[in-house]
Structure 1
Protein backbone atom coordinates (compact mmCIF):
# COMPACT_ATOMS: atom_id res chain seq x y z
CA UNK A 1 0.00 0.00 0.00
CA UNK A 2 2.96 2.31 -0.43
CA UNK A 3 2.62 5.26 -2.77
CA UNK A 4 5.08 7.32 -4.70
CA UNK A 5 5.19 10.96 -3.58
CA UNK A 6 4.91 12.28 -7.14
CA UNK A 7 2.17 9.88 -8.20
CA UNK A 8 -1.49 10.13 -7.30
CA UNK A 9 -1.73 10.19 -3.56
CA UNK A 10 -3.78 7.82 -1.40
CA UNK A 11 -6.82 9.16 0.42
CA UNK A 12 -6.20 11.49 3.38
CA UNK A 13 -2.84 12.63 2.00
CA UNK A 14 -2.50 16.03 0.32
CA UNK A 15 1.28 16.00 -0.09
CA UNK A 16 4.19 13.71 0.73
CA UNK A 17 7.64 14.83 1.84
CA UNK A 18 10.52 12.50 2.84
CA UNK A 19 11.46 12.89 6.49
CA UNK A 20 15.16 13.73 6.78
CA UNK A 21 17.54 15.10 9.41
CA UNK A 22 18.74 17.97 7.21
CA UNK A 23 15.36 19.64 6.79
CA UNK A 24 13.56 18.40 9.87
CA UNK A 25 16.24 18.11 12.57
CA UNK A 26 14.34 20.35 14.99
CA UNK A 27 10.81 19.22 14.08
CA UNK A 28 8.44 17.45 16.45
CA UNK A 29 5.43 15.23 16.14
CA UNK A 30 2.18 15.82 17.99
CA UNK A 31 -0.20 13.24 19.34
CA UNK A 32 -3.95 13.83 19.33
CA UNK A 33 -7.15 12.15 20.46
CA UNK A 34 -9.02 13.53 17.43
CA UNK A 35 -8.79 12.62 13.75
CA UNK A 36 -10.24 15.53 11.72
CA UNK A 37 -8.60 14.16 8.57
CA UNK A 38 -11.08 11.28 8.54
CA UNK A 39 -14.24 13.18 9.53
CA UNK A 40 -15.56 13.47 5.96
CA UNK A 41 -14.36 10.07 4.73
CA UNK A 42 -17.02 7.40 4.33
CA UNK A 43 -14.67 4.52 3.42
CA UNK A 44 -11.19 3.70 4.74
CA UNK A 45 -8.79 0.98 3.49
CA UNK A 46 -8.49 -2.00 5.80
CA UNK A 47 -5.96 -4.80 6.12
CA UNK A 48 -7.00 -8.42 6.61
CA UNK A 49 -5.37 -8.49 10.04
CA UNK A 50 -7.98 -5.97 11.15
CA UNK A 51 -11.02 -7.91 9.93
CA UNK A 52 -11.77 -9.72 13.25
CA UNK A 53 -12.00 -6.50 15.29
CA UNK A 54 -13.18 -4.11 12.55
CA UNK A 55 -16.20 -6.28 11.66
CA UNK A 56 -17.71 -5.46 15.05
CA UNK A 57 -18.14 -1.80 14.05
CA UNK A 58 -17.95 -1.50 10.27
CA UNK A 59 -19.34 -3.21 7.20
CA UNK A 60 -16.34 -4.59 5.31
CA UNK A 61 -16.72 -4.39 1.53
CA UNK A 62 -14.37 -4.37 -1.44
CA UNK A 63 -13.79 -1.45 -3.77
CA UNK A 64 -15.09 -1.55 -7.32
CA UNK A 65 -12.71 -2.10 -10.21
CA UNK A 66 -10.11 -4.68 -11.14
CA UNK A 67 -7.82 -3.94 -8.20
CA UNK A 68 -10.26 -4.28 -5.34
CA UNK A 69 -9.14 -3.54 -1.79
CA UNK A 70 -10.98 -4.09 1.49
CA UNK A 71 -12.74 -1.05 2.91
CA UNK A 72 -14.29 -0.25 6.27
CA UNK A 73 -17.48 1.71 5.64
CA UNK A 74 -17.98 4.61 8.03
CA UNK A 75 -20.90 5.97 6.02
CA UNK A 76 -22.93 4.99 2.97
CA UNK A 77 -22.81 8.32 1.16
CA UNK A 78 -19.97 10.54 -0.02
CA UNK A 79 -18.70 12.79 2.76
CA UNK A 80 -20.76 11.13 5.50
CA UNK A 81 -19.00 9.60 8.51
CA UNK A 82 -21.15 8.20 11.31
CA UNK A 83 -18.21 7.35 13.59
CA UNK A 84 -16.46 10.73 13.88
CA UNK A 85 -17.68 14.24 14.62
CA UNK A 86 -16.74 17.07 12.24
CA UNK A 87 -13.76 17.98 14.45
CA UNK A 88 -12.54 14.38 14.40
CA UNK A 89 -13.82 13.36 17.83
CA UNK A 90 -14.77 9.65 17.83
CA UNK A 91 -18.46 8.94 18.40
CA UNK A 92 -18.51 6.26 21.07
CA UNK A 93 -15.49 3.99 21.09
CA UNK A 94 -15.12 2.59 17.56
CA UNK A 95 -12.11 0.67 16.34
CA UNK A 96 -9.83 3.10 14.49
CA UNK A 97 -8.29 1.49 11.37
CA UNK A 98 -4.51 1.40 11.15
CA UNK A 99 -4.71 3.45 7.95
CA UNK A 100 -6.13 6.34 9.99
CA UNK A 101 -3.67 5.90 12.87
CA UNK A 102 -0.73 5.89 10.47
CA UNK A 103 -1.50 9.39 9.17
CA UNK A 104 0.36 11.70 8.50
CA UNK A 105 3.20 9.23 7.92
CA UNK A 106 3.61 6.76 5.09
CA UNK A 107 6.30 4.53 3.61
CA UNK A 108 6.75 5.47 -0.04
CA UNK A 109 9.02 4.91 -2.99
CA UNK A 110 11.17 7.90 -3.85
CA UNK A 111 12.33 6.40 -7.15
CA UNK A 112 10.24 4.24 -9.46
CA UNK A 113 13.18 2.01 -10.38
CA UNK A 114 13.88 1.14 -6.73
CA UNK A 115 11.99 -1.01 -4.25
CA UNK A 116 13.36 0.95 -1.30
CA UNK A 117 10.77 2.68 0.84
CA UNK A 118 11.35 5.88 2.77
CA UNK A 119 9.42 7.34 5.68
CA UNK A 120 7.43 10.31 4.40
CA UNK A 121 4.78 12.57 5.89
CA UNK A 122 2.05 14.96 4.83
CA UNK A 123 3.30 18.51 5.55
CA UNK A 124 -0.24 19.90 5.30
CA UNK A 125 -1.02 18.13 8.55
CA UNK A 126 -0.69 20.08 11.80
CA UNK A 127 0.79 17.00 13.48
CA UNK A 128 4.38 17.52 12.32
CA UNK A 129 6.36 20.77 12.41
CA UNK A 130 8.50 23.19 14.40
CA UNK A 131 6.53 22.99 17.61
CA UNK A 132 7.47 23.88 21.16
CA UNK A 133 5.62 20.81 22.39
CA UNK A 134 5.62 17.28 21.04
CA UNK A 135 7.98 14.37 20.47
CA UNK A 136 11.32 15.16 18.85
CA UNK A 137 11.78 13.38 15.52
CA UNK A 138 15.56 13.46 15.67
CA UNK A 139 18.14 13.42 18.46
CA UNK A 140 20.80 16.08 18.90
CA UNK A 141 23.15 13.98 16.75
CA UNK A 142 20.52 14.03 13.95
CA UNK A 143 19.75 10.35 14.39
CA UNK A 144 16.10 9.23 14.39
CA UNK A 145 14.57 9.46 17.85
CA UNK A 146 12.79 6.60 19.60
CA UNK A 147 9.53 8.25 18.56
CA UNK A 148 10.53 8.21 14.88
CA UNK A 149 11.74 4.62 15.11
CA UNK A 150 8.37 3.64 16.58
CA UNK A 151 6.60 5.43 13.70
CA UNK A 152 8.81 3.63 11.20
CA UNK A 153 8.09 0.28 12.82
CA UNK A 154 4.35 0.92 12.71
CA UNK A 155 4.52 1.82 9.02
CA UNK A 156 6.62 -1.27 8.29
CA UNK A 157 4.07 -3.50 10.01
CA UNK A 158 1.36 -1.79 7.99
CA UNK A 159 3.25 -2.61 4.79
CA UNK A 160 3.53 -6.25 5.85
CA UNK A 161 -0.19 -6.36 6.57
CA UNK A 162 -0.79 -4.73 3.19
CA UNK A 163 1.14 -7.52 1.46
CA UNK A 164 -0.95 -10.15 3.26
CA UNK A 165 -4.07 -8.28 2.22
CA UNK A 166 -2.95 -8.29 -1.40
CA UNK A 167 -2.42 -12.06 -1.24
CA UNK A 168 -5.90 -12.48 0.22
CA UNK A 169 -7.40 -10.44 -2.61
CA UNK A 170 -5.50 -12.51 -5.17
CA UNK A 171 -6.95 -15.68 -3.66
CA UNK A 172 -10.48 -14.29 -3.95
CA UNK A 173 -9.84 -13.23 -7.53
CA UNK A 174 -8.32 -16.55 -8.58
CA UNK A 175 -11.36 -18.35 -7.16
CA UNK A 176 -13.65 -15.85 -8.93
CA UNK A 177 -15.49 -15.18 -5.68
CA UNK A 178 -15.99 -11.43 -5.97
CA UNK A 179 -19.18 -10.07 -7.45
CA UNK A 180 -20.84 -6.67 -7.77
CA UNK A 181 -22.61 -5.97 -4.52
CA UNK A 182 -26.13 -4.70 -3.91
CA UNK A 183 -28.03 -4.16 -0.69
CA UNK A 184 -31.60 -2.93 -0.23
CA UNK A 185 -32.50 -1.16 3.01
CA UNK A 186 -36.02 -0.50 4.22
CA UNK A 187 -36.76 3.21 4.73
CA UNK A 188 -38.95 4.46 7.55
CA UNK A 189 -40.29 7.33 5.46
CA UNK A 190 -41.21 5.07 2.55
CA UNK A 191 -41.32 1.38 3.58
CA UNK A 192 -42.76 0.34 0.22
CA UNK A 193 -39.65 1.56 -1.62
CA UNK A 194 -36.38 0.22 -0.17
CA UNK A 195 -33.23 2.22 -0.78
CA UNK A 196 -30.68 0.23 -2.77
CA UNK A 197 -26.91 0.72 -2.67
CA UNK A 198 -24.57 -0.53 -5.38
CA UNK A 199 -21.03 0.31 -6.51
CA UNK A 200 -19.08 -2.06 -4.25
CA UNK A 201 -17.95 -5.67 -4.42
CA UNK A 202 -18.61 -8.58 -2.09
CA UNK A 203 -18.04 -12.32 -1.85
CA UNK A 204 -20.48 -14.41 -3.87
CA UNK A 205 -21.92 -16.84 -1.30
CA UNK A 206 -23.30 -19.18 -3.97
CA UNK A 207 -19.84 -19.67 -5.46
CA UNK A 208 -18.37 -20.00 -1.96
CA UNK A 209 -20.70 -22.96 -1.28
CA UNK A 210 -19.57 -24.59 -4.52
CA UNK A 211 -15.86 -24.57 -3.66
CA UNK A 212 -14.14 -27.92 -3.40
CA UNK A 213 -13.66 -29.39 0.05
CA UNK A 214 -9.86 -29.39 -0.23
CA UNK A 215 -9.91 -25.68 -1.11
CA UNK A 216 -12.09 -24.89 1.89
CA UNK A 217 -9.84 -26.95 4.19
CA UNK A 218 -6.80 -25.11 2.89
CA UNK A 219 -8.41 -21.71 3.46
CA UNK A 220 -9.57 -22.76 6.90
CA UNK A 221 -6.06 -23.88 7.85
CA UNK A 222 -4.33 -20.73 6.59
CA UNK A 223 -6.93 -18.40 8.09
CA UNK A 224 -8.54 -17.12 4.89
CA UNK A 225 -11.95 -18.68 5.46
CA UNK A 226 -12.56 -16.85 8.78
CA UNK A 227 -11.68 -13.59 7.00
CA UNK A 228 -14.31 -14.25 4.35
CA UNK A 229 -16.93 -14.95 7.02
CA UNK A 230 -15.94 -11.79 8.91
CA UNK A 231 -16.63 -9.84 5.72
CA UNK A 232 -19.98 -11.54 5.13
CA UNK A 233 -21.17 -11.19 8.74
CA UNK A 234 -20.27 -7.50 8.75
CA UNK A 235 -22.54 -6.62 5.83
CA UNK A 236 -25.62 -6.46 8.07
CA UNK A 237 -24.04 -3.38 9.69
CA UNK A 238 -24.85 -1.41 6.53
CA UNK A 239 -28.41 -1.18 7.83
CA UNK A 240 -27.12 0.10 11.17
CA UNK A 241 -25.12 2.82 9.44
CA UNK A 242 -28.11 3.71 7.27
CA UNK A 243 -30.14 4.25 10.45
CA UNK A 244 -27.33 6.31 12.01
CA UNK A 245 -27.20 8.55 8.95
CA UNK A 246 -30.93 9.13 9.15
CA UNK A 247 -30.69 9.99 12.86
CA UNK A 248 -27.92 12.47 12.08
CA UNK A 249 -29.99 14.06 9.31
CA UNK A 250 -27.49 12.83 6.73
CA UNK A 251 -29.51 10.08 5.12
CA UNK A 252 -29.93 9.69 1.35
CA UNK A 253 -32.17 12.20 -0.38
CA UNK A 254 -35.76 11.05 -0.32
CA UNK A 255 -36.19 11.95 -3.95
CA UNK A 256 -33.13 10.04 -5.17
CA UNK A 257 -33.84 8.47 -8.52
CA UNK A 258 -35.53 5.07 -8.09
CA UNK A 259 -34.49 5.00 -4.42
CA UNK A 260 -30.96 3.89 -5.28
CA UNK A 261 -27.41 5.19 -5.07
CA UNK A 262 -23.89 4.23 -5.96
CA UNK A 263 -21.68 3.57 -2.97
CA UNK A 264 -18.47 5.34 -4.09
CA UNK A 265 -15.68 2.91 -3.15
CA UNK A 266 -13.15 3.29 -5.91
Structure 2
Protein backbone atom coordinates (compact mmCIF):
# COMPACT_ATOMS: atom_id res chain seq x y z
CA UNK A 1 0.00 0.00 0.00
CA UNK A 2 3.00 2.28 0.36
CA UNK A 3 3.80 4.73 -2.40
CA UNK A 4 6.57 3.72 -4.79
CA UNK A 5 9.55 5.98 -5.51
CA UNK A 6 9.62 7.61 -8.92
CA UNK A 7 12.95 5.97 -9.66
CA UNK A 8 11.51 2.49 -9.38
CA UNK A 9 10.82 0.93 -12.78
CA UNK A 10 7.60 -0.68 -11.58
CA UNK A 11 4.92 1.88 -10.83
CA UNK A 12 1.84 1.25 -8.67
CA UNK A 13 -1.34 -0.12 -10.21
CA UNK A 14 -2.96 2.33 -12.71
CA UNK A 15 0.07 4.63 -12.98
CA UNK A 16 1.93 4.88 -16.31
CA UNK A 17 4.30 7.66 -15.26
CA UNK A 18 4.88 10.08 -12.39
CA UNK A 19 5.74 13.77 -12.55
CA UNK A 20 6.32 15.95 -9.45
CA UNK A 21 3.87 18.85 -9.30
CA UNK A 22 5.56 22.26 -9.20
CA UNK A 23 4.44 25.85 -9.73
CA UNK A 24 7.08 26.60 -12.35
CA UNK A 25 6.03 23.96 -14.89
CA UNK A 26 2.37 23.55 -13.94
CA UNK A 27 1.26 27.06 -12.99
CA UNK A 28 -1.45 27.17 -15.66
CA UNK A 29 -2.59 23.57 -15.19
CA UNK A 30 -6.11 22.61 -14.15
CA UNK A 31 -7.78 19.51 -12.76
CA UNK A 32 -11.06 18.60 -14.42
CA UNK A 33 -13.73 15.97 -13.83
CA UNK A 34 -13.88 13.06 -16.28
CA UNK A 35 -16.92 10.87 -16.81
CA UNK A 36 -15.10 7.59 -17.40
CA UNK A 37 -12.16 5.61 -16.07
CA UNK A 38 -10.89 3.35 -18.88
CA UNK A 39 -7.86 2.51 -16.74
CA UNK A 40 -10.21 0.84 -14.23
CA UNK A 41 -12.54 -1.01 -16.61
CA UNK A 42 -10.45 -4.20 -16.73
CA UNK A 43 -9.24 -4.26 -13.11
CA UNK A 44 -10.98 -6.77 -10.89
CA UNK A 45 -8.90 -6.49 -7.69
CA UNK A 46 -8.32 -3.08 -6.07
CA UNK A 47 -6.06 -2.36 -3.07
CA UNK A 48 -8.08 -1.47 -0.01
CA UNK A 49 -7.17 0.17 3.30
CA UNK A 50 -8.31 -1.27 6.60
CA UNK A 51 -10.19 1.98 7.30
CA UNK A 52 -12.55 1.12 4.43
CA UNK A 53 -13.54 -2.41 5.41
CA UNK A 54 -16.86 -1.50 7.02
CA UNK A 55 -18.02 0.52 4.00
CA UNK A 56 -16.59 -1.78 1.35
CA UNK A 57 -17.87 -5.07 2.77
CA UNK A 58 -21.41 -4.24 1.65
CA UNK A 59 -20.31 -3.93 -1.98
CA UNK A 60 -17.29 -6.20 -2.53
CA UNK A 61 -15.67 -9.37 -1.23
CA UNK A 62 -12.57 -8.37 0.76
CA UNK A 63 -9.69 -10.82 0.46
CA UNK A 64 -5.93 -10.75 0.98
CA UNK A 65 -3.31 -11.20 -1.70
CA UNK A 66 -1.09 -14.27 -1.70
CA UNK A 67 2.57 -14.21 -0.77
CA UNK A 68 4.64 -13.18 2.21
CA UNK A 69 3.44 -9.56 2.25
CA UNK A 70 -0.32 -9.78 1.75
CA UNK A 71 -2.49 -6.72 1.14
CA UNK A 72 -6.26 -6.30 1.42
CA UNK A 73 -8.08 -6.30 -1.91
CA UNK A 74 -11.62 -5.37 -2.90
CA UNK A 75 -12.91 -7.64 -5.66
CA UNK A 76 -14.97 -5.74 -8.22
CA UNK A 77 -14.99 -8.91 -10.28
CA UNK A 78 -13.90 -12.51 -9.68
CA UNK A 79 -11.96 -13.06 -12.88
CA UNK A 80 -9.00 -11.31 -14.47
CA UNK A 81 -10.09 -8.42 -16.66
CA UNK A 82 -13.64 -8.30 -15.31
CA UNK A 83 -15.00 -5.28 -13.40
CA UNK A 84 -18.72 -5.72 -12.90
CA UNK A 85 -19.34 -2.10 -11.88
CA UNK A 86 -18.01 -0.42 -15.04
CA UNK A 87 -18.81 -0.87 -18.70
CA UNK A 88 -16.14 -1.51 -21.31
CA UNK A 89 -15.57 2.24 -21.72
CA UNK A 90 -14.88 2.72 -18.04
CA UNK A 91 -18.19 4.36 -17.11
CA UNK A 92 -19.76 3.45 -13.76
CA UNK A 93 -22.97 1.52 -14.34
CA UNK A 94 -24.50 2.05 -10.90
CA UNK A 95 -23.76 3.81 -7.58
CA UNK A 96 -21.06 1.94 -5.69
CA UNK A 97 -18.44 2.65 -3.05
CA UNK A 98 -15.16 3.57 -4.73
CA UNK A 99 -12.03 2.55 -2.78
CA UNK A 100 -9.70 5.39 -1.82
CA UNK A 101 -6.98 3.89 -4.02
CA UNK A 102 -9.18 4.61 -7.04
CA UNK A 103 -10.21 8.08 -5.85
CA UNK A 104 -6.57 9.03 -5.29
CA UNK A 105 -5.60 8.49 -8.93
CA UNK A 106 -3.92 10.27 -10.77
CA UNK A 107 -2.25 11.74 -7.66
CA UNK A 108 0.40 10.08 -5.51
CA UNK A 109 2.80 11.02 -2.74
CA UNK A 110 6.19 9.63 -3.72
CA UNK A 111 9.89 9.95 -2.95
CA UNK A 112 11.80 11.90 -5.58
CA UNK A 113 15.10 10.29 -4.56
CA UNK A 114 15.97 7.13 -2.68
CA UNK A 115 18.11 8.99 -0.12
CA UNK A 116 15.22 10.90 1.47
CA UNK A 117 12.05 10.01 3.34
CA UNK A 118 10.28 13.17 2.16
CA UNK A 119 7.25 12.60 -0.02
CA UNK A 120 6.28 14.98 -2.84
CA UNK A 121 2.93 15.34 -4.56
CA UNK A 122 3.12 13.78 -8.03
CA UNK A 123 0.62 12.95 -10.75
CA UNK A 124 0.31 10.68 -13.75
CA UNK A 125 0.69 12.91 -16.84
CA UNK A 126 -1.04 10.33 -19.04
CA UNK A 127 -4.32 10.95 -17.22
CA UNK A 128 -6.70 13.26 -19.09
CA UNK A 129 -7.93 14.83 -15.85
CA UNK A 130 -4.77 16.94 -15.36
CA UNK A 131 -3.36 19.28 -17.99
CA UNK A 132 -2.74 22.69 -19.49
CA UNK A 133 -6.36 23.46 -20.30
CA UNK A 134 -8.78 26.14 -19.14
CA UNK A 135 -11.65 24.13 -17.67
CA UNK A 136 -11.65 22.67 -14.19
CA UNK A 137 -9.99 23.71 -10.94
CA UNK A 138 -6.67 25.59 -11.15
CA UNK A 139 -3.76 23.86 -9.41
CA UNK A 140 -2.08 27.17 -8.51
CA UNK A 141 -3.29 30.71 -7.90
CA UNK A 142 -2.00 33.88 -9.57
CA UNK A 143 0.87 34.07 -7.09
CA UNK A 144 2.01 30.54 -7.82
CA UNK A 145 0.75 29.22 -4.50
CA UNK A 146 -1.09 25.93 -4.24
CA UNK A 147 -4.82 26.40 -4.84
CA UNK A 148 -7.51 25.15 -2.46
CA UNK A 149 -8.11 22.24 -4.83
CA UNK A 150 -4.44 21.24 -4.69
CA UNK A 151 -4.41 21.58 -0.90
CA UNK A 152 -7.41 19.26 -0.80
CA UNK A 153 -5.63 16.71 -2.97
CA UNK A 154 -2.54 16.89 -0.77
CA UNK A 155 -4.65 16.41 2.36
CA UNK A 156 -6.39 13.39 0.83
CA UNK A 157 -3.08 11.81 -0.19
CA UNK A 158 -1.58 12.40 3.26
CA UNK A 159 -4.58 10.78 4.92
CA UNK A 160 -4.28 7.88 2.48
CA UNK A 161 -0.65 7.34 3.53
CA UNK A 162 -1.70 7.40 7.19
CA UNK A 163 -4.42 4.88 6.45
CA UNK A 164 -1.87 2.78 4.62
CA UNK A 165 0.33 2.77 7.73
CA UNK A 166 -2.61 1.57 9.86
CA UNK A 167 -3.34 -1.11 7.26
CA UNK A 168 0.27 -2.28 7.45
CA UNK A 169 -0.01 -2.61 11.24
CA UNK A 170 -3.25 -4.57 10.85
CA UNK A 171 -1.64 -6.96 8.37
CA UNK A 172 1.39 -7.43 10.65
CA UNK A 173 -0.97 -8.53 13.42
CA UNK A 174 -2.65 -11.08 11.16
CA UNK A 175 0.57 -12.50 9.75
CA UNK A 176 2.53 -12.56 13.03
CA UNK A 177 -0.26 -14.59 14.65
CA UNK A 178 -0.64 -16.77 11.54
CA UNK A 179 -4.31 -15.93 11.21
CA UNK A 180 -4.36 -16.07 7.40
CA UNK A 181 -4.91 -19.20 5.35
CA UNK A 182 -5.23 -20.02 1.67
CA UNK A 183 -8.75 -19.25 0.53
CA UNK A 184 -11.06 -21.29 -1.66
CA UNK A 185 -14.63 -20.58 -2.69
CA UNK A 186 -16.78 -22.96 -4.71
CA UNK A 187 -19.70 -21.45 -6.61
CA UNK A 188 -22.32 -23.58 -8.30
CA UNK A 189 -23.69 -22.26 -11.57
CA UNK A 190 -26.47 -23.92 -13.52
CA UNK A 191 -28.07 -27.22 -12.52
CA UNK A 192 -27.12 -29.54 -9.68
CA UNK A 193 -25.00 -31.60 -12.06
CA UNK A 194 -22.98 -28.60 -13.26
CA UNK A 195 -19.34 -28.48 -12.27
CA UNK A 196 -18.75 -25.77 -9.64
CA UNK A 197 -16.30 -22.97 -10.26
CA UNK A 198 -13.43 -22.85 -7.78
CA UNK A 199 -11.79 -19.56 -6.88
CA UNK A 200 -8.36 -19.74 -5.31
CA UNK A 201 -5.19 -17.65 -5.31
CA UNK A 202 -6.11 -15.46 -2.34
CA UNK A 203 -5.90 -15.54 1.43
CA UNK A 204 -8.57 -15.17 4.08
CA UNK A 205 -8.77 -15.06 7.86
CA UNK A 206 -8.79 -18.49 9.48
CA UNK A 207 -11.93 -18.18 11.58
CA UNK A 208 -11.07 -21.28 13.60
CA UNK A 209 -7.71 -19.82 14.67
CA UNK A 210 -9.35 -16.48 15.34
CA UNK A 211 -11.83 -18.14 17.71
CA UNK A 212 -9.00 -19.97 19.49
CA UNK A 213 -7.19 -16.79 20.52
CA UNK A 214 -6.91 -16.28 24.27
CA UNK A 215 -9.29 -13.92 26.03
CA UNK A 216 -6.67 -11.22 26.53
CA UNK A 217 -5.84 -11.10 22.82
CA UNK A 218 -9.52 -11.11 21.85
CA UNK A 219 -10.13 -8.19 24.21
CA UNK A 220 -7.17 -6.31 22.73
CA UNK A 221 -8.41 -7.02 19.20
CA UNK A 222 -11.85 -5.76 20.20
CA UNK A 223 -10.49 -2.52 21.69
CA UNK A 224 -8.18 -1.67 18.76
CA UNK A 225 -10.74 -2.57 16.09
CA UNK A 226 -8.96 -5.58 14.63
CA UNK A 227 -11.78 -7.95 15.54
CA UNK A 228 -14.33 -5.76 13.74
CA UNK A 229 -12.10 -5.68 10.65
CA UNK A 230 -11.80 -9.47 10.65
CA UNK A 231 -15.56 -9.82 10.98
CA UNK A 232 -16.19 -7.34 8.15
CA UNK A 233 -13.79 -9.31 5.94
CA UNK A 234 -15.44 -12.66 6.74
CA UNK A 235 -18.95 -11.27 6.19
CA UNK A 236 -17.89 -9.77 2.86
CA UNK A 237 -17.05 -13.19 1.44
CA UNK A 238 -20.77 -13.85 1.01
CA UNK A 239 -20.77 -11.09 -1.63
CA UNK A 240 -18.66 -13.34 -3.88
CA UNK A 241 -21.77 -15.11 -5.09
CA UNK A 242 -23.43 -11.78 -5.89
CA UNK A 243 -20.39 -10.68 -7.90
CA UNK A 244 -20.37 -14.03 -9.67
CA UNK A 245 -24.04 -13.60 -10.62
CA UNK A 246 -23.29 -10.08 -11.86
CA UNK A 247 -20.66 -11.55 -14.17
CA UNK A 248 -23.16 -14.07 -15.51
CA UNK A 249 -25.81 -11.39 -16.03
CA UNK A 250 -23.29 -9.26 -17.94
CA UNK A 251 -22.14 -12.16 -20.10
CA UNK A 252 -18.72 -12.13 -18.42
CA UNK A 253 -18.96 -15.43 -16.60
CA UNK A 254 -15.93 -17.75 -16.39
CA UNK A 255 -15.45 -20.33 -19.11
CA UNK A 256 -13.38 -22.77 -17.06
CA UNK A 257 -11.76 -23.18 -13.65
CA UNK A 258 -11.00 -19.67 -12.47
CA UNK A 259 -8.80 -17.89 -9.99
CA UNK A 260 -9.08 -14.45 -8.47
TM-score class, shorter-chain normalisation, is: over 0.9
Alignment of 1:131-170 (within 5 A): 131-170=133-172
Give the Cα–Cα distance (whole angstroms) in 2 for the partners of residues 227 and 118 of structure 1.
Answer: 31
> Secondary structure of the equivalent of 1:261?
coil
Q: Which moved more, 1:191-200 or 1:47-56?
A: 191-200
Residue by residue over 1:176-221, the C-alpha shift from the partner in whole angstroms, topping out at 9 and shown as x without a partner, is 0011111000011674411101000100111111111110000001
Q: What is residue 6 of structure 1 aligned with on the other side?
A: 7
**What TM-score comes out, normalization by structure 2 length?**
0.96
Alignment of 1:1-266 (within 5 A): 1-7=2-8, 8-188=10-190, 191-253=193-255, 256=256, 260-263=257-260
Structure 1: which 5+ runs fail to align? Answer: none
For residue 35 of structure 1, report the CA deviation from its aligned partner: 2.7
* Counterpart contact for 2:244–2:253, Cα < 8 Å: yes
Q: Which moved more, 1:40-49 or 1:3-12?
A: 3-12
Call closer, same or farther: CA 1:120–1:86 in 2, change over 3 Å: same
Call closer, same or farther: CA 1:123–1:58 in 2, change over 3 Å: same
Call closer, same or farther: CA 1:51–1:191 in 2, change over 3 Å: farther
Could you say what the CA RMSD is over the residues aligned between the two structures, in angstroms? Answer: 1.2
> Secondary structure of the equivalent of 1:262?
coil
Give the Cα–Cα distance (whole angstroms) in 1 for the partners of residues 94 and 224 of structure 2.
Answer: 34
For residue 20 of structure 1, report the CA deviation from its aligned partner: 0.7
Equivalent residues, number: 258
For residue 31 of structure 1, report the CA deviation from its aligned partner: 1.8
